[in-house]
Structure 1
Amino acid sequence: MPKIAIVISSTRPTRFADKPTTWFYALARERSDLDFEVVDLRDFPMPFFDDVASAAYAPTQHPEVARWQQKVAEFDGYVFITAEYNHAPTAVLKNAMDNAYPEWNKKPAAFVGYGSVGAARAIEQLRMIAVELQMAPIRTSVNIQGADFFGAWQQGKALEDMDHLQPSVKGLLDELAWWTKALKTAREASVPVAAD
């Protein structure tokens, strides 16, 4: 079964990210066509990118980065749970993306954003970054914004009770399943077969 990483892209001690991650993971696990695993960037502390060249051209010299690259390579697609800091994705997520390259290639990327505008501006930037990493960013995202975000963050409201978010979750997961299978099939078809 295709494996999907749900990447928590904030590492702050007071982060909100755990709430949408727990909520989204529970919904994703209801599917029988994809296997999901939460990957927390707190578990992969890396230096800011300082290798001799992009991972597209040279192997890393950092054991922490190599461990991250090996983890990224395990998956057939990714859902990024993302905040928005100053109209942009988190620095730790951008760094994590920069510290790998072939491991991301030809795999789908999906986004669950939260904040006053549901991280819409951060997600737009992440889509451009994903394209440069030869990923296929899908159209539908989940944007936890406005009253929903402030309710869950400050007022004790549960994302599980926000039924109006369900259609975007379903749309995201349906598109992710389609792209994951299509790209996995294409990647496997392009692997050279060893001669007997």
Structure 2
Amino acid sequence: MKILVAGSTGNTGQRLVHELKERGHDPVAMVRDNSDTSGLPEGVEQRIDDLADLSDSVVDGCEVVIFAAGSGGDTSAEMTDKIDRDGAKALIDQSVAKGVRRFVMLSSIGAGDPDPDSDLAHYLQAKHEADEHLMKTDLEYAILRPVALTDDGPTGEIRLGDNVDPKGEAARGDVAKVLADAAESPDWVGKVLAMETIS
């Protein structure tokens, strides 16, 4: 499948692009004009675009879109809204308009019911609004809400669902594999699942 990855040069996105390629898919890396693309697999198609100002052709020809982008923990509330809320919504809307079949969202634990007293309240609210926007479309959707991310590789030891420890950790390597699963498997359609690494 041709699968667009938004956030392809991030810590999780790079792992995801490699994972998709290893599984025999045709990943398309959405990159900003000044992005460091040295961590992407050789020969992977790149489309220059920006979630803060999305073009109307970035999803063309793709069956699946995976949103693995993020504004980052130290950015302003304005940038969080631009990327994590408005950028995600714009990519969702374009996916609907261009006939994309499935949209996989990398969200966050707590986005289902954001705690206004949390240090991450604004970020979680932005993620919440993007998730809700996706669920109201006719796209096949899957939403993954991992706990705090680490830069560890895949362990294969994960827990999904309601029994996840919200104060646990999730290895980015495991997150990348689960996102790839969500892009492929019919079992993921319509699912919103929390995730942690348990090893």
Normalised to the residue count of structure 2, the TM-score between the two structures is 0.51
Structure 2 CA distance, aligned partners of 1:45 and 1:135? 22
Structure 2 CA distance, aligned partners of 1:100 and 1:121? 22
The answer (yes or no) to whether the contact 1:83–1:114 under 8 Å persists in 2 is no
2:63 aligned residue: 76
Instruction: Letter of the 1:44 partner, please give it.
Output: D
Residue identity (%): 10
5 Å-filtered alignment, 1:28-177, equals 28-32=20-24, 34-40=25-31, 42=33, 43-45=48-50, 68-83=55-70, 89-98=84-93, 101-103=96-98, 105=99, 107-113=101-107, 122-139=126-143, 141=144, 143=146, 145=148, 148=150, 158-160=151-153, 165=171, 166-177=173-184
Aligned length: 141
Q: 1:159 to 1:37 in 2, by over 3 A?
A: farther
Structure 1 CA distance, aligned partners of 2:52 and 2:145? 30
Larger radius of gyration: 1
5 Å-filtered alignment, 1:6-45, equals 6-8=5-7, 18-32=10-24, 34-40=25-31, 42=33, 43-45=48-50
Structure holding more helix per residue: 1
Q: Which runs of 5+ in 1 are unaligned?
A: 10-16, 49-64, 149-157, 183-196
Structure 1 CA distance, aligned partners of 2:95 and 2:32? 14
Instruction: Letter of the 1:20 partner, please give it.
Output: T
Two-structure CA RMSD over aligned residues (Å): 4.0
Q: Which runs of 5+ in 2 are unaligned?
A: 34-47, 110-118, 158-170, 190-199
Structure 2 CA distance, aligned partners of 1:71 and 1:20? 20
Structure holding more strand per residue: 2
Q: 1:44 to 1:81 in 2, by over 3 A?
A: same
- Give the SS at the match of 1:83: coil
Structure 1 CA distance, aligned partners of 2:5 and 2:125? 20
